[in-house]
Structure 1
Amino acid sequence: MDKDDAMKLLLTSGGVSNQSIRDALADMLGKPIEEATALCVPTAMYGMYPRTAVMTWRQIAGQTSTPMVELGWKSVGMLELTALPSIGADNWVPLVRETDALLVCGGDVLYLDHWMRKSGLAELLPSLTETVYVGLSAGSMVMAPHVGEEFVGWKPSGGGDSALGMVDFSIFPHLDNPMCPENTMADAEKWAERVPVPGYALDDESAITVVDGTIAVVSEGHWRHFEG
């Protein structure tokens, strides 16, 4: 994306999990969250079925520990990427263009990458200069050039770990989360040695904002930047 004319990105590890991240989101929206509209994109969850079946519903319903849908939006709709190729762009592109925020949920990052491309959403994203893209875990990681072999689950036909490359860094999420014992700082250091671009390890109280090409970390927890 052109740095001077691109959509605003809020790339989180654990959703809008604290007041600092929430304030950053409201600032990017240019209005209170309660006055903004959103579309929830749950597609990445399907790449981890069947174990994410219940979590997919909870994410859409706003009943999670990783706040996205449950922030008090004026309205929330659902944008299911796997359905888009069958309904025609005129049925969903105007809806996306008029929405204030896209809430892109976690799950399998390369499965999400596949459907963002196949649905046409990836091609549309650079033109959404008034939209705030809010990523959660895989929804954040998919914007990177590479995700790292540690995060390859669902495998694309061409192999590899490449994602959309709409930013020039990669993300290691859920740093030191007790539910993710393989996501320690030592694991992040090994990941960073293999990923061919700069990277950020984020805990679930941290996020990255990208606005007009300027990258900043918003955190009430801990994080680390790797030069690459």
Structure 2
Amino acid sequence: MKLLLTSAGISNTSIHNALIDLLGKPIAEASALFIPTAIYGIPNGGDLVRRVICGSLGDPFCDLGWKSLGLLELTALPSIQQDLWIPMLMETDALLVGGGDCQYLCHWMQQSGLTDLLPSLLRKTVYVGLSAGSMVMTRYGTTYRHHMLPAQSDKSLGLVDFAIHPHLDHAWFPDNSLANLEKLAATIPVPSYAIDDQTAIKVTDGTVEIISEGQWKLFNPPISRA
């Protein structure tokens, strides 16, 4: 399994180099599929998708100079034949999963059948997450509640045994102070990484490595007392 779990995309040289290392070849020789689904779960999602694709919002992600870039919209997949999209998915070098509403993304990963394909897909394909796209792979996810899913719906897939809290000390997210995230981490029974937008977590077959030119902190779960 090869994961690059970012807060905001490929925001600096260190994260860029980590992506190349996981791909095993230059980005210009690699194909990618972008999953925008999570973005539709937040206000103004349609325009945000456009801006992420063309590179006018945030750090580089889709606009890295890929050999080819396609879109895979999860909400459409249950209504079309699998032979139209599974071969394309299995042949891609990188799966780019955008941010937005983690619960909405998790639901459509499950409903589309993508969750069932991930174990075999990630033997060779690099999963690159951005914000909610990163959190959905962990043991902790959030929701904006701009959707009609039941409150008890899954918010993450739990494929890695830790939590991620992105956008540490970001001006757009005033609640994401280190003190607030430490309090949140104390409620989660697994290790939690608070990471800023210059930080990513690289996971290679279970080995976790922090890639950072910014700030991050690991919070271990509270010790349970019998």
Aligned to 1:223: 216
**Equivalent residue for 1:59, pick from 52, 59, 80:** 52
Q: Deviation digits for residues 189-219 of structure 1, max 9, x if unmatched?
A: 1110112211100000000011011001000
Which shows bigger deviation, 30-39 or 85-94?
A: 85-94
Work out the CA distance in 2 between the residues paired with 1:140 and 1:171. Answer: 8
Aligned to 2:27: 33
Which shows bigger deviation, 118-127 or 153-162?
A: 153-162
Work out the CA distance in 2 between the residues paired with 1:134 and 1:160. Answer: 24
Work out the CA distance in 1 between the residues paired with 2:70 and 2:153. Answer: 33
Work out the CA distance in 2 between the residues paired with 1:99 and 1:90. Answer: 15
Q: State the Cα distance separating 1:80 from its structure 2 match.
A: 0.4
Matches within 5 A, 1:1-228: 7-49=1-43, 51-128=44-121, 129-147=123-141, 151-154=142-145, 156-157=149-150, 159=152, 162-228=155-221
The letter of the residue matching 1:191 is L
Q: Deviation digits for residues 158-183 of structure 1, max 9, x if unmatched?
A: 61664101000010000001111111
Percent identity of equivalent pairs: 56
Work out the CA distance in 1 between the residues paired with 2:132 and 2:193. Answer: 14
The letter of the residue matching 1:71 is L
Which shows bigger deviation, 52-61 or 117-126?
A: 52-61
Runs of 4+ in structure 1 off by over 3 angstroms are: none
Q: Alignment RMSD, CA only? A: 1.3
Q: State the Cα distance separating 1:63 from its structure 2 match.
A: 2.5
Indicate the SS of the match to 2:34: strand
Gaps in structure 2 of 5+ consecutive residues: 222-226
Q: How many residue pairs align between the two structures?
A: 218
Q: State the Cα distance separating 1:64 from its structure 2 match.
A: 2.1
Which shows bigger deviation, 184-193 or 161-170?
A: 161-170
Indicate the SS of the match to 2:186: helix
Using structure 1 for the length normalisation, give the TM-score. 0.92
Work out the CA distance in 2 between the residues paired with 1:87 and 1:160. Answer: 24
Work out the CA distance in 2 between the residues paired with 1:68 and 1:162. Answer: 23
Aligned to 1:4: none
Indicate the SS of the match to 1:103: strand
Work out the CA distance in 2 between the residues paired with 1:161 and 1:195. Answer: 15
Aligned to 2:224: none
The letter of the residue matching 2:190 is V
Q: Deviation digits for residues 123-166 of structure 1, max 9, x if unmatched?
A: 1011011100000000000001222xxx3323742616641010
Work out the CA distance in 1 between the residues paired with 2:68 and 2:56. Answer: 16
Indicate the SS of the match to 1:188: helix
Q: Deviation digits for residues 31-61 of structure 1, max 9, x if unmatched?
A: 0011000001000011113x33321111122
Using structure 2 for the length normalisation, give the TM-score. 0.93
Gaps in structure 1 of 5+ consecutive residues: 1-6
